[in-house]
Amino acid sequence: MLDTEAADSLIAAAHRARQRAYAPYSGFTVGAAVLCADGSVLPGCNIENGALGATVCAERVAMFSAIAAGHQEIVAIAVVGAPGRLLTPCGVCRQVMRELAPDADVIMEGGGERLVMSVAELLPAPFELQPGT
With a CB cutoff of 8 Å and minimum separation 6, the contacts of 92 are: 57, 60
Positions annotated as catalytic residues are 59
Walk across the sheet containing 41-45 and list its strands. 41-45, 31-36, 74-80, 105-110, 113-118
Q: Give the three-state DSSP class for 65.
A: helix
